[in-house]
Each structure stands twice: as C-alpha cells, then as structure tokens.
C-alpha cells in the first residue's frame, strides 16, 4: 500500500463547548423526521433549521462547513460530534440532530428504496474484501457512479471505529488528479467507454448511465469525475481506455489523504470534487464480536436544482 498523508486539520470542524451544549439540548427535543418520497420533508427541514438557528454559535459553524465543501477548498469535511454522541448516544436523538445539521448543506435523501434514510455499512467477514462492507482495501470511487444524477454529497457517520485501530477513510481531489494527466488521457476519459455496477431499486438519481464518460465536460459544480477503480475489471474495456483510467487512479493515490473516523465523527464528501475509499481493517476481525466490529451509517444529500428539491 502507498504511504498516505494524514488529512490536514483544516478539514476538521471541532465545535465550541457552548455550541455542543446547545446542540445536546436541541437534539433532545427534535421530533422524528418525515419524508416526501426519498427526501427529508421540507417541513422537517424548516423546523430543524429554526431550532439550529436558535443556537448563537451555529451560523459560524455552518458557514465553515459550507466553505470546506466548496470547490475552492478541499471538498470534504469531518464534523466532530464526539462529545455530543457521548451524551446523547448514537441512537435516534443523535441521528435526528446529525440529519438536521446535514440538511444545512443539502437535502438528505435515500436513493436505495430498500434502506432507511441512514444506511448501515457494517463489517461482513464473508463479503468481498474490497466492498464497503468488506475488510480489505476499498479503492477510490464515487457513489452511484452509473446514475445520470448521482448524489451531490455522500456522508459517513462513525458509530463504531475498527477496534483494531485500522480502516482509515481515504480521500483524494479527483479534479486535481485529472489536471495532472496528459491531454491524450483526458480525451480518452471523455469517451463514453466505461461501465460498472447494477441499477435497480433506486429513486431520484435519474436513469442508468451505461456506458459513461469519466469526464463529462460539465463545470465542476455540476459535473462529476465518474470514477470507480472497480470499473477497471469490467470486461470489454479496451487497453487504451483502461490505461487512461489506471493513470487517473495512480494520480488519485498520489494525492490521497486519510483520516480515521472515531465515534460521532461525520465525514461529508462533495462528490463533484472528491473520491473516497477505505484502508483495510485490522487483522484479527474474527476475534472481535460482531456487535463490536466497525459500523458506519451512510446518508446522501441532494443539492439545489437537480430534482426539484431545493436547499434554500
């Protein structure tokens, strides 16, 4: 495995004690959310927004989060809610509060019809090690790469870190990686030559996109670098297009950073700019009780103007 730089502290958001106290109180009063189809209901968003804005220090944290997620910054942020999780636990009260916070970025939604708003990503020792639920290296990717309208943001909430201290999240600026490629490689990546994954039981992510280009030619705030390392194993990919994708993968690895999420940490990734993955979990997972193994929860966010659901 390549050497990985630790994510700079500029990407982390630590809350002031005063705000933590306010959010603990707010988290104890938020009602169960309601949904409109796959999306968090607008009425729930507005109610939560009013509660959050009653906290004097909240606006500055919201502005910092939005700034970090913008294209001009790193494109990701880790919001540390560890102290709040210590008080509220990581059950319904904590999830309602976290959902309310993320609704300040964009509208929470769940494109997978068979899952609740927060989708579990546990540790399955029998799964393919490279999958999100596996124990091995989960290579760089964006979520729902084969949808015409992927989620604008993907978020990961750490309920339990790997007890063995491994499984760091890895991140890379996909657009910076593209900028380091030759013009000929970029031209190949703009071809509709790539495919990966199945497409079923999904909503509000458009249609299946197959084959798709890695580079769609759209502005950075609208388009995506449609990349998943797993597409390299797809049959039918000619050597020229495979080579260009491998070059991009190498550049992503060269620019990657890592962060090991702890209980209560929330990683937010702007999919228009950043790809993510995971380092292997620690050896000896079979010696850990299933209820103690690494557990994340995933939530997707949709920005303004893509599906008619507006984040004001």
Q: Say what the alpha-carbon torsion angle 54, 87, 14, 35 is, to the nearest 10 degrees.
A: -60
> Per-residue pLDDT averaged across 118-147, rounded?
97
> Per-residue pLDDT averaged across 183-212, rounded?
95
Does the reported pTM lie above 0.75?
yes
Range of the domain at 131: 13-302
Mean pLDDT is lowest, of 66-70, 230-234, 281-285, for 230-234
What pLDDT digit, counting tens, does each position of 74-121 carry? 899 999 999 999 999 999 999 999 999 999 999 999 999 999 999 999
Q: Say what the alpha-carbon torsion angle 60, 172, 221, 64 is, to the nearest 10 degrees.
A: 0
Report the percentage of the chain scoring pLDDT > 90.
89
Does 6 map to a domain? no
CATH label of the domain that carries residue 157: 3.60.130.10
Does 309 map to a domain? no
CB 213 within 8 A of CB 191: yes
Does 147 map to a domain? yes
pLDDT at 5 over 60: no
Does 63 map to a domain? yes
> Per-residue pLDDT averaged across 271-300, rounded?
97
Q: Can you tell me whether residue 209 is helix, strand or coil? A: coil
Number of domains into which the chain is organized: 1
pLDDT of residue 172: 97
pLDDT at 304 over 90: no
> What single-letter DSSP state applies at residue 106?
S
Does 1 map to a domain? no
pLDDT of residue 7: 55
Average pLDDT, the chain: 93
CA distance 12 to 220: 23
Q: Can you tell me whether residue 265 is helix, strand or coil? A: strand
Does 23 map to a domain? yes
β-bridge partners, 138: 278
Q: Cis omega (within 30 of 0) on the bond before 211?
A: yes
Does 308 map to a domain? no
β-bridge partners, 194: 212
Does 265 map to a domain? yes
pLDDT at 266 over 60: yes
CA distance 219 to 216: 9
Q: For residue 281, name the pLDDT band (cuts at 50, 70, 90).
A: very high
Q: CB pairs under 8 A, 24+ apart, for 79-83?
A: 79/13, 79/15, 79/265, 79/266, 79/268, 80/12, 80/13, 80/14, 80/15, 80/262, 80/264, 80/265, 81/15, 81/23, 81/264, 81/265, 81/266, 82/262, 82/263, 82/264, 82/265, 83/15, 83/20, 83/264
């Amino acid at each position: 495995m390549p050497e990985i730089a630790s994510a700079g502290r500029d990407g982390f958001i630590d809350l002031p004690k005063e705000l933590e106290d306010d959010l603990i109180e707010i988290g104890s009063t938020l009602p169960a959310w309601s949904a409109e189809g796959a999306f968090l209901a607008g009425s729930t968003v507005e109610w939560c927004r009013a509660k959050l804005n009653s906290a004097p220090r909240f606006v500055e944290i919201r502005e910092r989060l939005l700034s970090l997620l913008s294209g001009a910054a790193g494109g990701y942020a880790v919001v540390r809610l560890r102290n709040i999780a210590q008080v509220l636990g990581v059950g319904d009260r904590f999830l309602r509060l976290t959902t309310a916070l993320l609704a300040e970025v964009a509208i929470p939604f769940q494109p997978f019809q068979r899952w609740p708003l927060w989708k579990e990503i546990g540790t399955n020792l029998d799964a393919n090690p490279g999958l999100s639920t596996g124990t091995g290296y989960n290579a760089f990717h964006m979520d729902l790469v084969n949808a015409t309208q992927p989620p604008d943001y993907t978020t990961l909430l750490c309920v339990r870190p790997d007890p063995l201290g491994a499984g760091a999240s890895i991140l890379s600026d996909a657009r910076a990686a593209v900028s380091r490629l030759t013009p000929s490689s970029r031209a190949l990546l703009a071809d509709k030559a790539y495919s990966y994954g199945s497409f079923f039981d999904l909503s509000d992510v458009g249609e299946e996109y197959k084959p798709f280009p890695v580079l769609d030619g759209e502005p950075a705030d609208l388009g995506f670098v449609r990349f998943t390392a797993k597409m390299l194993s797809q049959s039918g990919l000619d050597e020229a297009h495979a080579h260009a994708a491998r070059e991009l993968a190498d550049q992503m690895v060269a620019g990657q950073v890592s962060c090991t999420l702890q209980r209560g940490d929330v990683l937010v990734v702007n999919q228009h700019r950043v790809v993510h993955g995971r380092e292997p979990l620690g050896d000896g997972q079979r010696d850990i009780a299933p209820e103690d193994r690494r557990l994340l929860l995933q939530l997707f966010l949709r920005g303004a103007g893509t599906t008619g659901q507006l984040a004001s």
